[in-house]
Amino acid sequence: MNNVIAGFSKFSKEEKINWIAKEYFLNPQEAITTLKNYWNSDENLQKLHDEFIENTISNFYIPLGVAPNFLINGKYYTVPMAIEESSVVAAASKAAKFWSTRGGFKASVIDTEKIGQVHFIFKGDHSKLADFFNQIKSKFFIETENITKNMQKRGGGILDIILKDKTHLIPNYFQLHATFETIDSMGANFINSCLEQFAKILKEEAQVHESFSETEKDIQVVMSILSNYVPNCIVRAEVSCPINELEEKHISDPTAFAERFVQAVTIAEVEPFRAVTHNKGIMNGIDAVVLATGNDFRAIEAGIHAYASRNGHYSSLSHAKIENNIFTFWLEVPLALGTVGGLTSLHPLVKLSLDMLEKPSAKELMQIVAVAGLAQNFAALRSLTTTGIQDGHMKMHLNNILNQFMATEEERVLIRKHFKHHVVSHSAVVDYIENIRK
């Protein structure tokens, strides 16, 4: 491609696909066929998906699986998980079944506070700005009532607004730091609408404030935006049992297992290189449920990883201990989730997933998601401290390798039989396929 294309967004979907196929592919028709193979045969459903984003050309499918047997606060759930990585759903299911006979998972929401900020520049007397803010603070609440009234009816709204002096970081930099309760909605549009109104009020009131000089009246709003870092929107998930109850097929010495497990978690608490992979395993579970329920996994990821660094270095999100012969494993994570609004009322599979979870509130979904992360982490650490991570993962990955080499059913039978007793690796599977095809 040599030229910038003008007016691409105005092309029809067919025109976009034809242009892409012609510009980028040696076999344009093959590219067109591939893209159209993933269109939904239901035209109305395809139109719905087309309108989720811009310049849509097809659908990119990710498997939707389920992990049954999750006992959370005395109630059983079958948890939907949208993810493409082998062994994640199997690991979550195995951990869920393991803990279902040992008291299940306990989960609790510690707080649900969400945050938004108006970032602005004020060149003047700091004390005069503080007095000005205190004088007009009530207007931020009064003049946003048209935005907040429906949220207030549901028990939410603006919790508080404070002025933050950040001039030690950037000259003349201040914030309006606002906290919100959005009940069962994710609340992004609600929060951003409130913040933009705050910014308007701030600028207008400054213009007529008698104590300000002309320079001080010229408040420069840089931006008004919610924060995806929500350190006061926290959920805790936990499992515990007497050490002797940890015994199972791969855990013949439960005391030694519990001690190794705690050591593994402790390493992730102090070693960032391990902590990143450790927390990635937690996010395998969290992201899969967040995606299946129509929430924003990018926002969740950003907020959780910031939380993992809150003490000055990146550390494990989960923790483990042994006290009085009781093994306890837990995590606390920030999760700003919603069960109304956004994709939750539009995407058919999101609605199905939420129905499968029996229409949870946002708080209940926070608990389910945190538990999925803890279950995934437990499964990974159990493998790492017993059989090793590759044993189970590569056996699950075997299907991907077989599909890559388009193995026949007869070949699959032979290959699976062989690798019941041999280590699965990509090269070993490829070698075996080549041997049986000779």
Name every residue whose Cβ is closer than 8 Å to that of residue 153 and which is 6 or more positions away in sequence.
Answer: none
| Residue 3 located in a structural domain | no
Residues 185 and 286 in one domain: no
pLDDT surpasses 90 at 423: no
Residues 368 and 239 in one domain: yes
pLDDT surpasses 60 at 129: yes
pLDDT surpasses 70 at 375: yes
| Residue 81 located in a structural domain | yes
Label residue 41 by pLDDT band (50, 70, 90). very high
Q: Is residue 161 a contact partner of residue 140, using CB atoms and an 8 Å limit?
A: yes
The 10s digit of each residue's pLDDT in 308-331 is 999 999 999 999 999 999 999 999
pTM of the model: 0.88
Q: Which two tokens stand for residue 298?
A: 């990018």
| Residue 399 located in a structural domain | yes
Q: Is residue 260 a contact partner of residue 385, using CB atoms and an 8 Å limit?
A: yes
Residues 404 and 265 in one domain: no
Label residue 416 by pLDDT band (50, 70, 90). confident
pLDDT surpasses 60 at 390: no
Q: Is residue 432 a contact partner of residue 413, using CB atoms and an 8 Å limit?
A: no
Residues 245 and 381 in one domain: yes
> Mean pLDDT throughout 83-95?
95
CB-based burial, 250-266: b 16+ in 10 Å, e otherwise? ebeebeebbebbbebbe
Measure the CA–CA gap between 80 and 63, rounded to whole angstroms: 10
Q: Is residue 114 a contact partner of residue 247, using CB atoms and an 8 Å limit?
A: no
Indicate the helix (H) or strand (E) that contains 130. Answer: helix 126-142
- Which residues are tagged catalytic? 85, 280, 296, 393
Residues 41 and 87 in one domain: no
Residues 84 and 128 in one domain: no
Phi, psi (rounded to 5 degrees) for 35:
-60, -45
- Last residue within a domain, chosen from 227, 245, 263: 227
| Residue 41 located in a structural domain | yes
Q: What is the dihedral of CA 406, 410, 411, 416, to 10 degrees?
A: 110
Only one residue has tokens 């013949």, namely 252
CATH number at residue 146: 3.30.70.420
Largest CA distance in the chain: 91
> Mean pLDDT throughout 51-76?
97
| Residue 59 located in a structural domain | no
Q: Is residue 300 a contact partner of residue 335, using CB atoms and an 8 Å limit?
A: yes
- Going across the sheet that includes 157-165, the strands are 157-165, 173-181, 114-121, 220-227
Residues 138 and 177 in one domain: yes
CATH number at residue 372: 3.90.770.10
| Residue 105 located in a structural domain | yes
pLDDT surpasses 80 at 396: no
| Residue 2 located in a structural domain | no
The 10s digit of each residue's pLDDT in 112-128 is 999 999 999 999 999 99
Q: Is residue 275 a contact partner of residue 147, using CB atoms and an 8 Å limit?
A: no
The 10s digit of each residue's pLDDT in 152-185 is 999 999 999 999 999 999 999 999 999 999 999 9
Residues 300 and 322 in one domain: yes
* Domains identified in the chain, total number: 4
Per the structure, the complete domain to which residue 330 belongs is given by 64-110+235-387
3, amino acid identity: N
- Last residue within a domain, chosen from 227, 255, 280: 227
| Residue 209 located in a structural domain | yes
Residues 318 and 356 in one domain: yes
